[in-house]
Amino acid sequence: MYIKTLKIVFIFLIATSILIFSGKHLLIISEVDTLFDGLMVMVFFLSLFPFLSLFSVVLNKVFKGFSHAKNY
């Protein structure tokens, strides 16, 4: 179970970094002129959906961790 959580967090961090770098590029450009700009749009949206699904998984694990914590 611990290895599965590490894999999820690792993939989440990779999707987050791809989303950040491609998002910064999309903020800089004004319109899609070149093939590289089009590829950055595609990479942004392809990394957005894994980010959202893994974010919900990680958030669910955090809430479950807090709910199972004992009050001292």
Residue 23: domain span = 8-59
Give the Å distances, CA to CA, from 35 to 6, 21, 23, 29, 31. 35, 17, 16, 13, 12
| 34 belongs to a structural domain | yes
Number of folded domains that form the chain? 1
Residue 72 has pLDDT above 80, yes or no: no
Q: What confidence tier does 61 reach under pLDDT thresholds 50, 70, 90? A: confident
pLDDT 10s digits, 33-44: 899 999 999 999
| 72 belongs to a structural domain | no
| 21 belongs to a structural domain | yes
Nearest 5°: the CA angle 42, 36, 9 is 45
Rounded to whole angstroms, how far apart are CA atoms 50 and 53? Answer: 5
| 1 belongs to a structural domain | no
| 64 belongs to a structural domain | no
Record the tokens describing residue 16, joined without a space: 């987050």
| 47 belongs to a structural domain | yes
Considering the chain, what is the average pLDDT of its residues? 88
